[in-house]
Structure 1
Amino acid sequence: MFALRASARRSADAGRRLLQSTQGVRGIRIGNTEVPDDKRLTYSLQRIKGIGRSTARQMLCELQIENKPTGELSGIELESLRNEVLNYDIGHNLDKENASCIKRLVDIKSYRGIRHIDGLPCRGQRTRTNAHTRKNRGTPFAAFKMTSHR
Structure 2
Amino acid sequence: MLYIMGKRMEPSKSVHIALQAIFGIGKTKAMLICELIGLSQSVKINQLKRMHVEQIRRILSRYFIIGSDLERLIQQDIKSFIKIGCYRGFRHNSRLPCRGQRTHTNAKTCRRVHNTTPYRR
Shared fold (TM-score, shorter chain, > 0.5): yes
Deviation at 1:125, TM superposition (A): 1.6
Tell me what 2:48 maps to: 73
Moved over 3 A (4+): none
Q: Match of 1:78, as an amino acid?
A: V
Tell me what 1:21 maps to: none
**TM-score, normalized by length of structure 2?**
0.86
- 1:104 and 2:84 aligned: no
Higher helix share: 2
Q: Match of 1:50, as an amino acid?
A: G
Q: Give the secondary structure class of the aligned counterpart of 2:21.
A: coil
1:22-41 pair list within 5 angstroms: 27-41=1-15
Q: How many Å separate the matches in 2 of 1:134 and 1:97? A: 24
Tell me what 1:147 maps to: none
Q: Give the secondary structure class of the aligned counterpart of 2:53.
A: helix
Deviation at 1:66, TM superposition (A): 2.1
* Structure 2: runs of 5 or more not aligned: 114-121
Deviation track 1:51-94 (CA, whole Å, cap 9, x = no partner) reads 11111001111111222000010111111011111121111111
Q: Give the secondary structure class of the aligned counterpart of 1:46.
A: helix
CA RMSD of aligned residues (A): 1.5
Q: Which has more radius of gyration?
A: 1
Q: Match of 2:53, as an amino acid?
A: L
* Structure 1: runs of 5 or more not aligned: 1-26, 138-150
1:125-136 pair list within 5 angstroms: 125-136=101-112
| Identical pairs, percent | 32
Instruction: Indicate which of 50, 54, 69 corresponds to 1:93.
Output: 69
**TM-score, normalized by length of structure 1?**
0.70
Instruction: Indicate which of 108, 117, 123 corresponds to 2:93.
Output: 117
Tell me what 1:54 maps to: 28
